[in-house]
Amino acid sequence: MAKNQKVAILIDQLYQDSEVTEPKEKLEGAGFKVDIIGPNTTEEYIGKKGTKLKADKSIEEVSHKDYIGVVIPGGWAPDKMRMNQKMVDFVFEMDMKNKPIASICHGGWMLVEANVVHGKRVTSYVSIRTDLINAGGRWVDKEVVVDLNLISSRTPADLPAFCAELLKALSLVEA
């Protein structure tokens, strides 16, 4: 099923550690190839809890065509990511191809910036609820919400449900 299929995880400074490491572990365990994608590959990206990661590839090197899905972790990284037009375009292009986009916590900021939430049910960390509503999303308070290709969750406590829905959505993608 997952052989040679690649999933992107976007990263920048002050990401929520477990929202990167747990989906990565679950995806790799299911046989997917995971690329951590950041603004560059030279910088060390430090999570809110101190986890240090380097990007496998920079956003400049990749195309939405290379991946069957994308994970957008939370923390404060999405506030930085949404100022990077190439990252925003990557999410927009994934949406245009109806590829799974999994956003957790503050990751919803990237959905807003990429203009992909209008008319869709979504959830997020409660503090960005109004941002999602103002972008046309229908915000609900549930551990995981799936609407077409968007998968969203609220906090690290929701990671089990988030990862399960992500794996289910990716299993439906044709190679």
Asked if 107 and 78 touch (Cβ cutoff 8 Å), the reply is yes
pLDDT in tens, 22-50: 999 999 999 999 999 999 999 999 999 99
Q: Once rounded to an integer, what is the mean pLDDT over residues 82-86?
A: 98
What's the predicted TM-score (pTM) here?
0.97
Residue pLDDT, tens place only, 93-152: 999 999 999 999 999 999 999 999 999 999 999 999 999 999 999 999 999 999 999 999
With tokens 């995880």, the residue in question is: 9
Q: Is the separation of the CB atoms in 136 and 117 below 8 Å?
A: yes
Strand order in the sheet with 69-72: 57-58, 33-38, 6-10, 69-72, 101-104, 150-153, 144-147
* CA 27 to chain centroid: 13
Annotated catalytic residue 163: no
Q: Which CATH class is domain 6-171?
A: alpha beta
The domain locations on the chain are 6-171
Return the SS3 of 42.
coil
Quickly state the pLDDT bin for 1 (edges 50, 70, 90).
very low
Catalytic residue of the set 64, 105, 118, 163: 105
64 is catalytic: no
Q: Which DSSP state fits 155?
A: S
| CA distance readout (Å), 6 to 12, 27, 55, 69 | 20, 9, 15, 7
Residue 12 has pLDDT above 50, yes or no: yes
Which helix (DSSP H) or strand (DSSP E) does residue 78 occupy? helix 77-81
Confidence of residue 173 (pLDDT cuts 50, 70, 90): confident
The residue among 117 and 1 whose pLDDT is bigger is 117
- pLDDT tier, 20 (very low <50, low <70, confident <90, very high otherwise): very high
